Amino acid sequence: MTVLRQPGTVLTDHTFAVPLDHAVPDGERIEIYAREVVAAGRERDPLPWLVYLQGGPGSGSPRPLGRDGWLPRALDDFRVLLLDQRGTGRSTPATRQTLPIRGDAAAQAEYLAHFRADSIVRDCEFIRRRLLGEDGRWSVLGQSFGGFCSVAYLSTAPEGLREVFITGGLPGLDVTAQDVYRAAYPRIERKNAGHYARYPDDVEAVRTIVRRLRDAPARLPGGGLLTPEAFQSLGLMLGSGTGSHTLHYLVEGAFVTGPTGPVFADSFLAEAEQHLSLAGHPLFAVLHESIYGQRSVSAGATGWAAEAVRREFPRFDADLALAGDAPVLFTGETIHPWMFETDPALAPLRETAELLAQREKWPDLYDPARLAANDIPVAAAIYHDDMYVDTAHSLATARAVRGLRTWVTDEFEHDGLRVSGGRVLDRLIRLVRGEL
């Protein structure tokens, strides 16, 4: 067990061998990595545990740099466990490099079917028993997709929970993937309107970039391809507090003048690749729409829902925009089949992703009856007009979970937990404790 010290904190590594399929406890095992963080000088204090569930899907837990972000507020009260959810970070990885070990695409898809929130919750319960004992309870902080996992936790194993804090992650309990994107595209359009109002010169600048890409897609430094659709997907940034500004600075530096005239700047292509490449978290694309699959809501496949629903919103069609004088709209947190052609980290997983997109009868993730009888203290931050998680869906779920207290705010965007210096977490803690 490795123990390290950073400014103001002590970090301890933990690795757990958990069942790939918790329904077969004696079957194949995979590793789950977690990093314990405690305030320096309090290593031996009997502090309650707080397990952090990261957003995604497919993202490892944050790598702390001492007492940064929301950690200082958490460390005032808790011993924190930063969990690398299965397939991410230092847990047994699931990438284009490792998945071929499983066999063909069908075998890979079958393997990845065990990587949703239901399995993540069972991993948490396995780990809780190892660290706290059978009767120990811990607190959970779920950000974005981590909030989805937290609601699944409340649905399936509330006996392991002391209290739950959710930020930007109350899922719709009875919405399909198609419902999610029908609600999402109008929100994404509003974020576009806000961006172009803030930076009106970007309207023509973006049209120029997309026109050039339509004539000749650009090769990115790592081998990926920047197409009009890929460029539009940079709108994913618009859901964070500083994303509009970051996108503007990217757009304004798109071209330099070479011997033959304007060409895409290497710096522009390199930065675009940083935002577009999913090499570090491929499961974000491979598993994204499966997080909405529930057979009691819809027994059918998710079936590339974002791509299908996009056709219902022609204003996102770049060709139509360029044919007139409309701004080219960026997209957001939407996954499309073409991503498995333009991103080298995803291309080998194209058939696997297709099989998951066509998979039917996903097990249910949420239990409305159990949530209606909930007796675990829960508080949730709901960000007004959150681009990634529909506010109306979140509010409906808040009403459906007995005793859940909400804080609806427009002070922050979806990244409020990370950028608020602990204020978001502090408010949720005070809500749960009845101080507000």
What is the C-alpha to C-alpha distance for residues 1 and 363, in angstroms, rounded to an integer? 36
Per-residue tokens: 196? 């172009």
Is 386 in the active site?
yes
3-class SS of residue 237: helix
Closest by CA to 364, choosing from 288, 290, 294, 291, is: 294
| 426 contacts: CB under 8 Å, gap ≥ 6 | 73
Catalytic residue among 123, 367, 386, 390: 386
Measured on CA atoms in the order 380, 385, 386, 391, is the torsion positive or negative?
positive
Sole residue written with tokens 């309107």 = 193
Is 144 in the active site?
yes
What is the C-alpha to C-alpha distance for residues 51 and 42, in angstroms, rounded to an integer? 17
User: Angle, nearest 10°, between helix axes 145-156 and 117-132?
Assistant: 70
Catalytic residue among 59, 119, 139, 144: 144
Q: What is the DSSP letter of 235?
A: G
| 417 contacts: CB under 8 Å, gap ≥ 6 | 69, 70, 143, 167, 168, 381, 424, 425
Q: Show which residues are catalytic.
A: 144, 386, 414
